[in-house]
Amino acid sequence: MSLDFTSLFALSFVCAMGAMSPGPSLAVVLRNTVSGGRLQGILTGVGHGIGFGIYALIAVTGLSAILLAHDSIFLLLQWGGALVLLWLSYNMLTYVPSEGNDEHDVSGRQGFIEGFLISFLNPKILVFLVAVFSQFIDPQMNHIDRVIMAILAGVIDTTWYVLVAAILAGTPLIDTLRSNSVIIDRAIGLVLSLLALGLVAKTFT
């Protein structure tokens, strides 16, 4: 079996819908765009896309079977993801802007790291990709086609979050959001903390 246009289109559509679904990744990209501007938001999206792309490569090469078969590895990734969410939540809930300055003093590099970690330490992405790719891969598919699928998934994920940051930063809405950055930080921080606690609770069930 080899890839054809129909398969690529279907895969692209499913990956795009997955990327567009609301979640902590979108929240962090939006927050970093509001607080740090277009570049920081874009770098957060790029970092997320790279983490997503690594999981995509793992899924198509069959390494996912090894990772998913070992509960300890999966559990470690889940705990790592929960810690990242709690760390981001703490930063948002405790942030106090300096007088006359509503913007955060956060570098683009930190935005990139946050985007990468929130993606790479979310093993549910691997589960999602295994489920998606299983509909398009058979044992006879060559390695080049498998890698193309992984790259396509990573590019779509990166493109979505980069577009969100680039478009939001270019609208008048960004000024309104930035003037209320502390409220936005508190709200997103609370959501992320609840998600982290929910993730931890699931590891005990």
Q: What is the pTM of this model?
A: 0.78
Q: Is residue 149 part of a domain?
A: yes
Q: Average pLDDT over the chain, rounded to whole?
A: 82
What confidence tier does 155 reach under pLDDT thresholds 50, 70, 90? Answer: very high
| Vertex 181: Cα angle to 177 and 186 (nearest 5) | 125
Residue 185 falls inside a structural domain: yes
Within a domain: 198: yes
- Quote the pLDDT of residue 16: 92
Residue 4 lies in a domain: no
Say if 173 falls within a structural domain.
Answer: yes
Ranges 42-46, 102-106, 114-118, 190-194: which has the least confidence: 102-106
Question: Is the pLDDT assigned to residue 31 strictly greater than 60?
Answer: yes
Number of domains composing the chain: 1
Share of the chain above pLDDT 90, in %: 23
Segments forming the whole domain that contains residue 158: 25-202
Residue 5 lies in a domain: no
Phi and psi at residue 36, in whole multiples of 5°?
-115, -5
Q: Does any domain span residue 49? A: yes
